[in-house]
């Protein structure tokens, strides 16, 4: 009886981006959200609009 060995291949999570590119993206997003102070009234209006779209 012969046995076959399973060769495991390294699967890259983000095949199109390098680690450095992913880091740059995260730093940019972090900077965008750093001092964000949401307006609760605007947030509520937006949630209601999205809810109305889903219900209809």
pLDDT at 3 over 80: no
Phi, psi (deg, nearest 5) at residue 25? -65, -45
In this prediction, residue 40 carries a pLDDT of 86
Over the stretch 20-54, which tens digit does the pLDDT of each residue have?
Answer: 888 888 888 888 777 777 788 998 998 898 888 77
**Whether the predicted model's global pTM rises above the 0.75 cut:** no
Longest dimension (CA), the chain: 71
Q: Between the CA of residue 30 and those of 12, 23, 25, 27, 42, what are the distances in Å?
A: 24, 11, 9, 5, 22
**CA dihedral for 37, 41, 45, 51, sign (positive or negative):** positive
Regarding predicted confidence, which is higher, 40 or 2? 40
């Amino acid at each position: 009886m012969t046995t076959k060995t399973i060769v495991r291949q390294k699967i890259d999570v983000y095949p199109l981006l390098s680690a450095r590119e992913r880091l740059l993206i995260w730093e940019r997003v972090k900077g965008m959200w750093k001092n964000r102070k949401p307006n609760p009234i605007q947030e509520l209006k937006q949630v209601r609009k999205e809810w109305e779209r889903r219900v209809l």
